[in-house]
Amino acid sequence: MFVNQDQNAPLREDVRLLGEELGSVLREQAGEPLFETVETIRQAAVESRGQGEMQVGRLRELLDPLDDETLLEVARAFSQFLNLANIAEQRHRERLHRHHQRFPGDPDTDQGLRQVLAKLKRAGVDQDRIRAVLDELSVELVLTAHPTEVTRRTLIRKYDQIADLLAGLDRPDLTGEEVEDLRRHLREQILSAWSTDEIRRERPTPVDEAKWGFATIEQSLWRAVPDSMRKVEAELARAGLEPLPADWVPVRFASWMGGDRDGNPNVTAAVTRNVLLLARWMAADLYLRDVENLLADLSMHRASDELLARTGPSHEPYRLLLRQVRDRLRITRAQLEARVNGNPEPAGEGYTSGAQLSGELALIDRSLRAVGLAAIADGQLKDTLRRLNCFGITLLRLDIRQESTRHSDALDAITRYLGLGSYAHWDEPTRQRFLLAELENRRPLVDDAFYQSEFCDDDVRQVLETCGVIAEQGPEGLGAYVISMARASSDVLAVMLLQKIAGVREPMRVVPLFETLDDLNNAGDIMHTLLEIPSYRQRVAGGQEIMIGYSDSAKDAGFLGAAWAQFRAQERLTGIFREHGIPLTLFHGRGGSISRGGSPTRMALLSQPPGSVAGRIRVTEQGEMIRFKYGRPSVAAYNLEQYVAATLEATLMPPAEPRAEWRAAMDRLTEVSVNSYREVVRDDPALVGYLRTVTPETELSRLALGSRPARRKPGGGVETLRAIPWVFAWTQIRLMLPAWLGTGAALERALENSEDTATLHAMSEEWPFFQGAVDMLEMVLAKADTRVASWYEERLTGEQELLRLGEVLRQRLARTVDALHRLTGRDSLLDNNPVMRWSIRVRDPYTDPLHLLQAELMARLRDRETDPVLESALMVTIAGIAAGMRNTG
């Protein structure tokens, strides 16, 4: 399709088509005057961008006379176009993925499994070694709700239908009538989207967020997982590798939705219990649909003696067994529904473990293969077995996350109740001695009277009740117990003891999360201390998981300082666990934006320290990135294959150890970067005022983004603000501060010295870690725009200190762009990525009016305090700019 052609021509045609249809809807629904107003504003923005300098005065002349209602409609029009542009771009990604499959040798395509296997062959990697890694390969993707999707689920469904219609229009064999019919349906869907309120009016509950995750599995991943495995299987066969087991799936899914209680008082023990039950109900329902399809297909009579021993003589033995499976699934679903609703459970034997269901399906699989019907076994049955191996009967494994001081507070209450003193005031060695002694002690630590005592307040009770849910639910539906802000070895031991107190027979694995710069630097010492304890070493002999935090470390130290600290922490941890012979799984807490660890899959994995992947990876997939990467089955299947390929490559062909001079250069770079970042974020007294006056940080709380509060604690400064709204606020005004502040100063300093300059060029060309950092920096700087930020200042503040800081930040940003040009040798940002460059440019004429509108609406609202029309318009601009940037936080 694309050979010797402009690969982006179909994307431009889709954008043009969707724009035309939206224009028709605007004329019909809002009238010719509004359409003309929108079109005049758009043309002015296009002309201004074309001149290379934004003529803000001209746009203001067009916007200022508009009344509040018209401002709302204008904002909706531009926001809607940006969402349609995203659909076109997502569709184009699907198109490019198909091109990748048809022309895998094309240098412009991504590195899929075929390319990785060919690379391994050229490198002389033995097939037995590849097979051994594949046998144990583990990729676990953890779906999280924050930042939760800006776009309403109602609109997401409509956007998916628009994408399907665009895909239909791609068919080369369409008749004129078919084209017209598809365009008519397209117009209907755009009209339907325009007529739908784009703003979520009520904040979702944690259960709502969990249901959103379940819907992603039901509508996309349920199909994508077996589809991706078939593609992987085909590539392995093409490379001459022996087939893997029929149910082999290296990818699994976990979730934080309903389990992440760090700073979210809305996630209670009851919520976690409810989410676990709902997930099992959804799993039973999905497997029931699969079994109904198998019942329709498996009508054959030839069966193995093993199967017939189970069913007895029958002309349709497979259907006989599958009817029993279906009935048992129905009982399972009914029992779970009763438990969710608090009703008496119906009698009967449901499935209580995945092994029960997989055992019966595996029996059918063995029989089909034994009697020469392997081709049938390799059909729908294999898909179901793979789903069962991936999703289990619990759909997802739910992680629990809680902040370390909440565990300390609970133990402090217990020690004071027992008359042992205050755990909170004990030093670290005293805490460790107490925890280790109690972990080995067989007697109960507390009695029932504790729960009725004054020591057991609501916060303590919630911690203990959460452990109680862990005890009652069993291990199959649970993943990791993640300790945020883990700062000492006792933080890990504390959670182990709390599970013991609650009577957990098969404890959840305890995973410390190292987040701040200091925590990352101390991670190796903390884990070394734990591994020096024989009983702990014995408990984790089968493997240890450690989470690396990207968001809070970048908020603490800036992008570059955090990235180097993360690299060094992983490097040291990998070495420590290798010395002890204990498998280590690193859990990467990445977000969508660069300042929260976001980057393409292959780049992210190949930039890790050598040996740190080792066939095992765990990664968070957050908020809108779930929709972008997994919302549509074909895109999801492609991204799952990318994870498998990149994990295999990073394991068998890891990057070389960084040279000593590169390490020294990074130490110098990050010292400058961290100091430069902190002198603004921590030390400039105008920063908090600028954030709350010039950016929509305070207005973001009006948007029903998610169930979790924006701040860990009410009031306070930047330190209390979560990383997500911190990034979101700067993205809205196109300053993108968390992604570059400090890094530019470090590059400037290094480029002043010819020896350092030569070292930086070598790092850019030869070191994947540094290559990835530079590429991501370039991508985010291409989205930044100092002129846009100045509009907000001009409209929203006259305070000299804020204007001073704004000028400083814009100058620093300009110098960062200049330093990057000098480093890369490219005159323009993203010269090496024309698709991304075009994507940003085509959005600018639509985001520019939204930025001006947003600043105007913020000013008007701050004067009036409350106004429903203005509030709606402001929320539309926030969502529209997020769509234009393809990122919230």
Q: Which residue of the set 92, 97, 100, 146 is catalytic?
A: 146
Distance, CA of 395 to CA of 217 (rounded, Å): 8
Q: Which residue matches tokens 């017939």?
A: 308
Residues in contact with 235: Cβ distance below 8 Å, sequence separation at least 6, in sequence order: 112, 113, 114, 117
* HSE value, Cβ hemisphere, 13 Å, CA-based, for 432: 14
How would you write 590-602 as a 3-class SS string?
A: CCCCHHHCCCCHH
Q: Which residue of the set 100, 382, 555, 851 is catalytic?
A: 555
Distance, CA of 539 to CA of 542 (rounded, Å): 8
Give residue 220's identity as a one-letter amino acid code.
S
What DSSP string runs through 292-308?
A: HHHHHH-------HHHH
Q: Give the ranges where 395-516 is alpha helix by DSSP (H).
A: 404-417, 428-440, 448-451, 458-473, 489-501
CA 379, 381, 387: angle at the middle one, nearest 5?
Answer: 110
The one-character DSSP state at 581 is: T
Q: Which residue matches tokens 């509508």?
A: 219
The answer to whether residue 713 is catalytic is no
Surface-to-core class of residue 811, CB atoms within 10 Å of its CB (0-12 exposed, 13-18 middle, 19+ buried): exposed
Whether 746 contacts 563, CB under 8 Å:
no
How many CB atoms are located within 10 Å of the residue 117 CB? Answer: 22
Listed residue (18, 30, 21) closest to 73, CA to CA: 30
CA 750, 752, 754: angle at the middle one, nearest 5?
Answer: 85
* 402 strand-pairing partners: 483
The one-character DSSP state at 744 is: H
The answer to whether residue 555 is catalytic is yes
Distance, CA of 82 to CA of 42 (rounded, Å): 12
Distance, CA of 384 to CA of 354 (rounded, Å): 12
Strand-pair category, 544-549 with 584-589:
parallel
Maximal CA-CA distance, the chain: 90
Listed residue (101, 121, 122, 119) closest to 110, CA to CA: 101
State both tokens at 208: 């709502």
Q: Give the ranges where 145-205 is alpha helix by DSSP (H).
A: 153-169, 176-194
Chain centroid, CA 598 distance in Å:
8
Return the sign of the alpha-carbon dihedral for residues 314, 319, 322, 326: negative
Distance, CA of 873 to CA of 617 (rounded, Å): 42
The one-character DSSP state at 423 is: G
Task: List the end-to-end C-alpha distance of the chain, in Å, as a whole number.
Answer: 36
Q: Give the ranges where 684-799 is alpha helix by DSSP (H).
A: 686-694, 723-732, 737-740, 743-751, 754-766, 768-783, 786-796
Listed residue (596, 653, 599, 649) closest to 629, CA to CA: 599
How many CB atoms are located within 10 Å of the residue 465 CB? Answer: 18
What DSSP string runs through 355-394?
A: HHHHHHHHHHHHHHHHTT-HHHIIIIIHHHHHHHHHHTTT
Q: Which residue matches tokens 């440019």?
A: 841
Distance, CA of 712 to CA of 558 (rounded, Å): 20
Strand-pair category, 544-549 with 397-403:
unpaired
Cα Rg of the chain, angstroms? 28
State both tokens at 850: 């939204």
Distance, CA of 713 to CA of 722 (rounded, Å): 10
Q: Catalytic amino acids?
A: 146, 555
